[in-house]
């Protein structure tokens, strides 16, 4: 009897282990998401800085190849082996006759046409004028002025305050060009979150453009481009690093005296 129980237990153990081996492999996500959402305006900084130089500049330059701005590479899909159906048509590899080449998934590429132009003007004038006048005649008692010594209780006060000020501010900006970015997320309503950067290495430094935001697939043109004014929550940064960028900013002594004055 005991031998029979051991035999049944061994058979059950072998059966369970065989079932676990027959389970289909667990599919992983189509893309490796190891990225973080960042703001193009703020930018991500270099982990290593030059210490005193950055402190005197009061600025830490972004660097190319920042992991937070790394492109997303779609992961290869595992092959699925299905039973033969006798048909030459495969639903998994079929394409619609009415489909286009617009980006729809994570990792797809889209070109953003930069055409930004802003202009602001503001002026203000202020004029304030205030006058005060108060006086009192001498006190008379019995036809004679009431006095205490040389003081006859009379006074005359006058005050005149004036203020005049004016201010004016004018600012205009324009940017044109293009940058190709990637889709990093597809929202539940079908909108696409895009992000990307472009670096140009020059003789005395680097220039870069960083862009992030949310777009609608319907706003994408037939040539896979979209205007920058169609981007929601757009964050666009165009700046540079190196000697040319340093020459455009005042030194730390100039900033110190400007604040002191």
- The tens digit of pLDDT for each residue in 147-177 reads 777 777 777 888 888 888 898 999 888 889 9
CA–CA gap between residue 144 and residue 140 (Å, rounded): 5
How much is the average pLDDT of 108-121?
A: 91
Closest-CA residue to 237 (of 191, 193, 195, 182): 195
Least confident of 38-52, 142-156, 172-186: 38-52
Classify 150 as helix, strand or coil: coil
pLDDT the model gives residue 192:
94
Bigger pLDDT: 191 vs 204? 191
pLDDT at 251 > cutoff 70? no
How much is the average pLDDT of 210-237?
A: 92
pLDDT at 41 > cutoff 60? no
Q: Are 64 and 45 in contact (CB under 8 A)?
A: no
- The tens digit of pLDDT for each residue in 19-30 reads 544 555 444 444
pLDDT at 53 > cutoff 90? no
Bigger pLDDT: 9 vs 235? 235
Q: Are 206 and 200 in contact (CB under 8 A)?
A: yes
Give 258's pLDDT tier (boundaries 50, 70, 90): low
CA–CA gap between residue 254 and residue 257 (Å, rounded): 5
pLDDT at 35 > cutoff 60? no
Least confident of 87-91, 127-131, 167-171: 87-91
Which residue is it, tokens 């290593």? 48
Give 72's pLDDT tier (boundaries 50, 70, 90): confident
CA dihedral 247, 252, 254, 255 (to 10 degrees): 110
Classify 125 as helix, strand or coil: strand
Closest-CA residue to 64 (of 243, 246, 196, 247): 196
Q: β-pairing, 144-145 with 140-141?
A: antiparallel
Bigger pLDDT: 72 vs 220? 220
How much is the average pLDDT of 35-47?
A: 46
Mean pLDDT taken over the chain: 75
How much is the average pLDDT of 73-86?
A: 68
pLDDT the model gives residue 37:
47
């Amino acid at each position: 009897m005991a031998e029979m129980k051991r035999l049944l237990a061994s058979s059950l153990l072998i059966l369970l282990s065989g079932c676990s081996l027959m389970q289909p492999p667990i599919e992983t996500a189509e893309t490796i998401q190891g990225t973080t959402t960042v703001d193009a305006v703020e930018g991500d900084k270099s982990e290593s800085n030059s210490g005193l130089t950055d402190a005197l500049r009061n600025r830490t330059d972004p660097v190319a190849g920042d992991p937070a701005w790394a492109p997303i590479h779609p992961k290869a899909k595992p092959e699925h082996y299905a039973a033969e159906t006798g048909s030459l048509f495969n639903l998994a590899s079929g394409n619609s006759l009415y489909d286009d080449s617009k980006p729809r998934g994570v990792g797809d590429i889209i070109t953003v046409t930069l055409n930004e132009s802003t202009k602001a003007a503001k002026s203000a004038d202020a004029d304030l004028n205030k006058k005060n006048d108060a006086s009192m005649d001498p006190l008379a008692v019995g036809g004679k002025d009431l006095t205490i010594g040389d003081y006859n209780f009379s006074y005359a006060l006058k005050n005149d305050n004036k203020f005049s000020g004016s201010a004016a501010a004018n600012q205009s900006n324009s940017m044109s060009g293009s940058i190709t970015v990637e889709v990093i997320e597809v929202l539940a309503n079908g909108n696409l979150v895009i992000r990307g950067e472009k670096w140009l290495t020059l003789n005395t430094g680097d220039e870069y453009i960083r862009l992030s935001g949310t777009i609608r697939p319907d706003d994408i043109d037939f040539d896979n481009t979209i205007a920058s004014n169609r981007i929601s929550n757009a964050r666009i940064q165009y700046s540079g690093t190196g000697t040319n960028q340093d020459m455009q900013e005042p030194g730390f002594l100039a900033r110190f005296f400007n604040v002191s004055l």
